[in-house]
Structure 1
Amino acid sequence: MDKLTIIKNLYRPLQPTIGPSDDDVSYREIKPKQALSDMVYCFWQLRTIRPLGQQFTYRVVADGCIDIFFDMAETGKSFIMGFCQKYTEFPLADTFNYVGIRFYPTMFPQLFHISAKKLSNNAFELDQIVPELAKFIKNKITADMELPQIVVPLNAYLAEVVSNTELHMDHRLYGALHLILQNQEILKIERDLDTGISPRQLRRLFDYYIGTSPKTFSKVIQFQNVLRAQLTVQNLRTNKVFYDSGYSDQAHFIRDFKNFYGVTPTTAFK
């Protein structure tokens, strides 16, 4: 498999915390143009359909990605959020309209030559990280634009970045990612990720391009695999999903799931 398509072909990061029953809040994704499809998973929008009458807390689950996001009411302030090893909650007002760009793992550092480790477990103002992109968003995105209109200039800007960037696709890193993504259980990192370099060297690559260790990234991927399985409370009780996921017991499975999602599996899949 080509190194540039490994992640795209094997991984679909999910953010499931806005569901069909949330009539007053909308979450939407649009895929990027073909030239960006190996690097950008989606452009997304989180917005209120009508005023809520109270503050809204949005929970972002761990997905291994780096996101850029901004408030359509104030595009002069944009932000970037790095890899997070647990869920993150954002308290929002009763009316909001946020737009974002979700990069596949490894791709933001490839395009902008910034260590993912520098961004891990936090959100930063984008003008402190990539000031040119922050300025572009401020000047080209206006509050009256709908998501299909917004993605046009963003696609163009990122396509230009890609055309002017020489990617460093280290086969050892992407070999390890391939092993993690194609497996259906958490790997024994030391034993299973033999890509021709020492564990310390592999950790350095993961720190720079992912923002965390191979072990933690592997756990996030397995958590995402559980989300994609579309479990229900009933089959959580009858199927030993924690064994299938590589856990030795249910307690460890529930602990990790709650860390990445913010609630227990039973609550999440009601």
Structure 2
Amino acid sequence: MQISPPKHLTSYIKHYIFLGNSEDNMKKLRLFTDGNTGLILSDNINIFDISGNDLPLSFFYGQLTQYKDLFIKGRFSLIAVVFQPYFFNAFLGISVKEVQDQIISVKDVVKNEMHLFQEKLFYKTDPKLIIDDLNVYFTKILSKVISSDYDFVTAVQHYILQNKGSVTLKDLEYFTGYSERHIERKFKNYMGVSPKKYSNIARLHYFLSLINCNINHESIIGLSYNAGYADQSHLIKEFKNNIGLTPNQYLKTENKLAVNFIELN
């Protein structure tokens, strides 16, 4: 279940995702980059990474440059809060480039502030009510003064998305009136990746939207050209680096939980 935030939060929170499992089985989930950061809140979850390391009950994740496989055993309820990437900095006061590819325990950065939400998940409160409470919580966070840098970074991000990732640093220099060095420094600090990397992510997700809504049954090659890829080999390399699958393997994946979250067999 995917739920949008209220209008006043959409510049900072992309959406919420609620996932639950009522069976005592093992699920393998793959999280891959969509250019955003986020927060996972869970009840009494048994979750570990591909090396068998236990992950925190609830955690923040930074900007991803490679996919992560998560293994969840048994019954669980969780809410994923997908941030606009720069909200990480506004919320926690941490440079996003410092937490690239990292998972950080909620307790390490906000102490017991999330305990109430975890408790409500444990007692099976309606997830929509929990999300309503989260909206109130994040609204209070945003009552603080927001730096003017957010307006700059947001404008650059929107420009990249509007152009479906097909932009160069020279394009951004012309759009903003700032030097490439200034743009890159601000972008890495607030977004966690360079403008070039974010543009590649935006183009990949535009291609994903094309293949997921391919009502005219156009070929993968044709859709890749439409998304701005010079050739199919470039697309497949980019796809496998970010998602760990080929486009055809991705299409055969039945349980797509979100734009960057899939369940694997």
1:136-147 to 2 correspondences below 5 Å: 136-138=116-118, 142-147=122-127
**For the residues of structure 1 that align with 2:180 and 2:88, how far apart are their CA atoms?**
23
CA contact (8 A) 2:39 2:59 kept: yes
Q: Residue 201 of structure 2 corresponds to which residue in structure 1? A: 220
1:68-99 alpha-carbon deviations (Å, 9 max, x no partner): 1122226x932001110122210111432221
1:127 is aligned to 107
Cα drift, residue 211 of structure 1:
0.5
1:62 aligns with 2:33: yes
* Gapped regions of structure 2 (runs ≥ 5): 46-55, 253-265
Read off the aligned partner of 1:69 and give its amino acid letter.
Answer: I
Which residue matches 2:229?
Answer: 247
Tell me what 2:157 maps to. 177
Query: Which digits, 9 at most, give the CA deviation of each residue in 1:217-269, with x for residues without a partner?
Result: 111111111122225595234x5222222222111111111222221001112
Structure 2 contact 165–201 (Cα < 8 Å) conserved: no
- CA separation of 1:133 and 1:202: change in aligned 2, threshold 3 A: farther
**Number of residue pairs the alignment of both structures matches:** 238
Contact 1:109 1:115 in 2 (8 A): yes
Partner SS state of residue 98, structure 2: helix
Aligned pair partner of 1:157 in 137, 146, 149? 137
Q: Deviations over 1:156-191 (max 9, x none)?
A: 21111112x1112335433322321110343222x2
Corresponding letter in the other structure for 2:4 = K
Shift of 1:113: 2.0
Q: CA 1:81–1:44 in 2, change beyond 3 Å: closer, same or farther? A: same
Q: TM-score normalised to the size of structure 1?
A: 0.79
Contact 1:63 / 1:224 at 8 angstroms: preserved in 2?
A: yes
- 2:249, 2:223 → 1: CA distance? 16
Partners of 1:135 and 1:178 lie apart in 2 by: 34
Distance 2:187 2:232 in 1: 28
Question: Is 1:45 the equivalent of 2:18?
Answer: yes
Among 90, 94, 98, the alignment partner of 1:110 is 90
Deviation at 1:29, TM superposition (A): 1.4
Give the counterpart of 1:196 among 167, 177, 182. 177
| Alpha-carbon spacing, 1:169–1:92, altered in 2? closer, same or farther (3 Å) | same
Task: Report the Cα distance in structure 1 between the residues aligned to 2:222 and 2:127, rounded to whole angstroms.
Answer: 41
How far has the Cα of 1:135 moved from its partner? 4.5
Distance of 1:155 and 1:211 partners within structure 2: 24
